[in-house]
Structure 1
Amino acid sequence: MQQNVIDTVSAMTAALERGDIDTVMSFYVDDAVVAFQPGAPVRGQEQLRAGFAAFAAVQPDFRYDHGHEVMITGETAVHIAPWTMSGTAPDGTPITQSGLSVATLRHQIDDSWKIVLDNPFGARLIPDQDQA
């Protein structure tokens, strides 16, 4: 089952690299929440499509060079993986980013997995109120 979760994330990533937003969206539940920017999660099909289209526009090349961690209980899985991405801004400027992907997936009746929560900036923490 762990490999099925990894395969889901990998297939979604490959679709994003191809700019195939319809396929990307097929890997998410209807009410999914995605953080396209640290600390700014969005929901809703229109907002997700716009966020994925913006990512795809930079012709991203994603790498999960340090492996994956998957934990599963019942119908819920958590996928954690460090990533790097290179791409090209509309003005031709090279872009590089990295982060820690933390995603929650739900097992579907057809035996597939779909992403419910997707935070590619999972290493960003909300400051402790006592220290803010």
Structure 2
Amino acid sequence: MSAHELTQIIKAADAAITAEDLDTLMAIYADDAMLVVKPGMVARGKEQIRRAFVAIAEHFNHSMNVSQGETLVLENGDTALVIMETVLNSLDAAGAAVATTRRATYVFRKGAEGNWLCAIDNSYGTDLLGTELLSVT
């Protein structure tokens, strides 16, 4: 059985994050998408999401390498929930290697042209339970 189309889209997004290729990355997001930047902070819309990824790259010293592990795609019509193990390798401020694994959740919907667009990007998954989400300004 071949991997779901969304798995390939997320893999391409991960490559764009790693390469800091924001134009390619923004193409996978819906215009009204939301990105959980960190618990308690959400970016809404492509402009805020782009700025958030610039800040995220700086936070990780431009050393992010993002990949995916186990994946589950639940598709219903033009909406899909993706539950995925996300692995982030980076360097801290002292240059030491850091590896973080999360169980991420993503919501995708089909755009007018039939292409999948990310509506909600939550790399923290259920770890957000108990937090209040505030928008980035």
More moved, 7-16 vs 86-95: 86-95
> Which blocks of at least 5 consecutive residues in structure 2 are unaligned?
131-137
| Identity score, percent | 26
Higher strand residue share: 2
Match of 1:124, SS state, is helix
Does the Cα contact within 8 Å between 1:29 and 1:114 map onto a contact in 2?
A: yes
Equivalent residue number for residue 26 of structure 1? 27
> Which blocks of at least 5 consecutive residues in structure 1 are unaligned?
128-132
* AA of the residue aligned to 1:70: V
* Structure-to-structure mapping, 1:98-117, within 5 angstroms: 98-117=101-120
**TM-score, normalised by the number of residues in structure 1:** 0.83
Match of 2:127, SS state, is coil
Equivalent residue number for residue 59 of structure 1? 63
Over aligned residue pairs, what C-alpha RMSD do you find? Answer: 2.2
**Change over 3 Å in CA distance of 1:125–1:88 after alignment to 2:** closer
Does the Cα contact within 8 Å between 1:18 and 1:56 map onto a contact in 2?
A: no
- The 2-side partners of 1:111 and 1:119 are apart by 23
Match of 1:41, SS state, is strand
More moved, 50-59 vs 35-44: 50-59
Equivalent residue number for residue 89 of structure 2? 86
Deviation string for 1:55-107 (max 9, x for gaps)? Answer: 33432112323x21001111001111112211124553433322111000011
Equivalent residue number for residue 18 of structure 2? 17
